[in-house]
């Protein structure tokens, strides 16, 4: 029977040999997930022998991580904006920089308003759920092209008990007509697939081999969704309604001019914690 320390050492070496960055950290985090303890508490348990089923699960996790599967898919969950979300290979793993998108929306809205919000590209449901939790009178509609993603988002909606205020709909923004919402929305938000087709092939294996490609790239110039959503948002938003986009590195100015062409005013660009231009926001005329 291997102890905690022995297992950690073997796993770290295995992950290092596979070329995984921060191998020891990965080994510790996966083991602490199995033992349901904090990572640092492993240090108090170095001599504890692992039970056979713990060793088996750990072996499986380490082998998956050695194969470049993202940590979050292995443990099946992630924290976003202080909330827990289930994730699997059908949804994009929520990113820290997307929290800036939520923060920007919250800074531009009031908790006491009965806002009607449309989110385009539900994924795990991280955006609609974070907004609904923090804007207690809001109602959110969130669309996604993938039925599998919507099932994950619905599980997360259940986890946060928000069925009465969030509706998920399977729809493709490039095709479907959302005209029944014309002139009814206060806010439209999207973190669309924005990686262009050339950059896509250069992404790290964790993304390339595991995350859903339709959530990452538009297989074109990276701007497809900004163009379509800006165009459609004009009639969906109420007068003075607001459009919020997350953008990829280097896209903010292009997105700004797309929004200007569509008549949006008061356009602002907000940087993330790495000082990368990350959110573009504008007001409907």
Q: Which one of residues 90, 156, 191, 262 is an interface residue with ligand GLN (CB under 6 A)? A: 191
Which positions from 94 through 113 interact with ligand GLN, judged by CB under 6 A?
Answer: 94, 98
Contact 120, 188 (CB under 8 A): yes
Based on CB atoms, which residue is closest to ligand GLN, 178 or 215?
215
- Separation between Cα atoms, residue 260 and residue 254, nearest integer Å: 10
Task: Please state, in angstroms and as integers, the Cα–Cα distance from residue 81 to each residue in 29, 126, 156, following that order.
Answer: 20, 8, 14
Based on CB atoms, which residue is closest to ligand GLN, 191 or 256?
191
What residue number has its CB nearest to ligand GLN? 123
**70 scored as a contact of ligand GLN (CB under 6 A):** no
Instruction: Supply the minimum distance, in Å, between the C-beta of residue 121 and ligand GLN.
Output: 4
Contact string 122-141 vs ligand GLN (x = CB under 6 A): -x--xx--------------
Neighbours of 107 (CB within 10 A): 9
Q: Which one of residues 73, 78, 81, 121 is an interface residue with ligand GLN (CB under 6 A)? A: 121
**248 scored as a contact of ligand GLN (CB under 6 A):** no
Contact 267, 281 (CB under 8 A): yes
DSSP letter (8 states) at residue 212 = -
The angle that helices 52-66 and 23-34 make with each other, rounded to 10 degrees, is 140
The angle that helices 147-159 and 126-134 make with each other, rounded to 10 degrees, is 30
What are the two backbone dihedrals, phi and then psi, of residue 15, each rounded to the nearest 5 degrees?
-65, -40
Instruction: Supply the minimum distance, in Å, between the C-beta of residue 103 and ligand GLN.
Output: 13
Binding residues vs ligand GLN (CB under 6 A)? 92, 94, 98, 121, 123, 126-127, 191-193, 215
């Amino acid at each position: 029977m291997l102890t905690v320390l022995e297992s950690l050492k073997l796993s770290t070496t295995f992950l290092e040999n596979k070329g995984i960055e921060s191998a020891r950290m990965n080994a510790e985090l996966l083991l602490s997930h199995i033992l349901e303890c904090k990572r640092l508490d492993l240090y108090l348990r170095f001599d504890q022998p692992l039970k056979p089923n713990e060793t088996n699960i750990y072996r499986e996790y380490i082998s998956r991580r050695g194969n470049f599967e993202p940590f979050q898919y292995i443990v099946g969950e992630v924290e976003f904006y202080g909330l827990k979300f289930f994730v699997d290979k059908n949804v994009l793993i929520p990113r820290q920089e997307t929290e800036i998108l939520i923060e920007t929306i919250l800074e531009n809205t009031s908790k006491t308003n009965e806002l009607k919000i449309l989110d385009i590209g539900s994924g795990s449901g991280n955006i609609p759920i974070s907004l609904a939790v923090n804007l207690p009178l809001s109602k959110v509609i969130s669309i996604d092209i993938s039925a599998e993603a919507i099932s994950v988002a619905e599980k997360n909606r259940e986890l946060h008990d928000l069925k009465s205020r969030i509706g998920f709909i399977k729809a493709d923004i490039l095709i479907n007509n959302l005209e029944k919402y014309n002139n009814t929305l206060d806010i439209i938000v999207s973190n669309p697939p924005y990686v262009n087709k050339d950059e896509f092939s250069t992404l790290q294996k964790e993304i390339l081999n595991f995350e859903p490609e339709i959530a990452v790239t538009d297989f074109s110039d990276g701007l497809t969704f900004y163009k379509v959503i800006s165009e459609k948002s004009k009639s969906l938003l109420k007068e003075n309604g607001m459009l919020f986009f997350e953008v990829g590195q280097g896209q903010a100015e292009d997105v700004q001019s797309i929004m200007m062409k569509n008549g949006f005013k008061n356009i602002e660009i907000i940087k993330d914690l790495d000082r990368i231009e990350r959110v573009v926001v504008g007001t409907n005329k």
